[in-house]
């Protein structure tokens, strides 16, 4: 198979890229000066599947730079979908985000719930999902959106959009410095990066998806940030919780089990 993996130099993308090595894989990443916003249909000719992970994947960055993050996350996704449609790509697997849900009082979070993003990043990722659905309905391009919940694992970035707190906490403990806890009472559903990769690998194979479905990819259990911090160190310093983020997240993963035959294997 011929595959394109956007964002292959990022945290999740690099793990997925390694697992795709038995195929002909083309990586596209800004680190290598390859921009999804400037792709043409010719760049995707002969490609079977596209894994779209490239994004300005930081909530704080989107709050401070909503125009630039919109340009990458929305316009870039739209251009990629158009090129995929024009080139006859079989299916696009889109990396969505649980930040599309916003703050919900009812848990677990189900895909049928009305989205209510609290940040430009959450809104931009939601728009990407909707573009995927529209391209499936209007143009017949097969798409599926995987909503990730706080991904963690080896090579976690200190400034990522997902579970940056884990990387920061471990880094601070190594340095003998206090763990900076922003808030602490909020809870998060943490998902191991290897499980996220497995969900991606199953998405092209399933005959139950391809019409713009949105599917939660989560660990199925949540933990408070205070709980995580105390498990790592007793040296903790609290700060106010930052804006644009929900109080609690917890994924209902029954749809992933039904449509992808997927469930998480690693517990935090």
Contact 156, 164 (CB under 8 A): yes
* Cβ-Cβ contacts under 8 Å for 14 (sequence gap 6 or more): 8, 155
Rounded Cα–Cα distance for residues 210 and 195 (Å) = 20
Rounded Cα–Cα distance for residues 149 and 161 (Å) = 10
SS3 label, residue 258: helix
Residues recognised as catalytic: 121
Nearest to 72 by CA among 60, 59, 82, 57: 57
The end-to-end CA distance of the chain, in Å, is 33
Contact 265, 195 (CB under 8 A): yes
Q: DSSP of 109-164, one letter per residue?
A: B-TTSPP--SSHHHHHHHHHHHHHHHHHHHH--EEEEEEE-SEE-TT--TT-SSSH
DSSP secondary structure letter of residue 208 = T
Rounded Cα–Cα distance for residues 223 and 239 (Å) = 18
Rounded Cα–Cα distance for residues 178 and 41 (Å) = 50
Q: Can you state the angle between helices 76-87 and 120-139, rounded to 10 degrees?
A: 20
């Amino acid at each position: 198979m011929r595959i394109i993996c956007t964002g292959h130099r990022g945290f999740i993308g690099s793990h997925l890229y390694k697992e795709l090595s038995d195929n002909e894989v083309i990586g596209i990443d800004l680190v290598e000066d390859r921009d999804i916003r400037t792709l043409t249909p010719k760049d995707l000719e002969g490609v079977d599947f596209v894994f779209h992970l490239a994004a300005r994947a930081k909530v704080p960055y989107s709050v401070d730079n909503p125009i630039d993050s919109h340009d990458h996350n929305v316009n870039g996704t739209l251009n990629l979908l158009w090129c995929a449609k024009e080139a006859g790509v079989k299916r696009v697997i889109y990396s969505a985000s649980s930040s599309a849900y916003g703050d919900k009082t009812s848990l677990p979070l189900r895909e049928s719930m009305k989205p209510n993003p609290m940040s430009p990043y959450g809104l931009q990722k939601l728009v990407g999902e909707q573009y995927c659905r529209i391209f499936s309905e209007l143009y017949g391009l097969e798409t599926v959106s995987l909503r990730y919940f706080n991904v963690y694992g080896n090579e976690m970035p200190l400034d990522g959009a997902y579970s940056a707190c884990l990387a920061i906490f471990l880094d601070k403990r190594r340095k003998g410095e206090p763990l900076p806890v922003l808030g602490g009472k909020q809870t998060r559903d943490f998902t191991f990066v290897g499980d996220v990769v497995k969900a991606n690998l199953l998405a092209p194979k399933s005959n139950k998806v391809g019409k713009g479905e949105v599917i939660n990819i989560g660990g199925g259990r949540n933990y408070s940030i205070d709980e995580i911090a105390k498990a790592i160190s007793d040296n903790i310093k609290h700060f106010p919780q930052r804006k644009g983020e929900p109080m609690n997240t917890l994924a209902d993963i029954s749809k992933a089990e039904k449509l992808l035959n997927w469930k998480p294997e690693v517990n935090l």
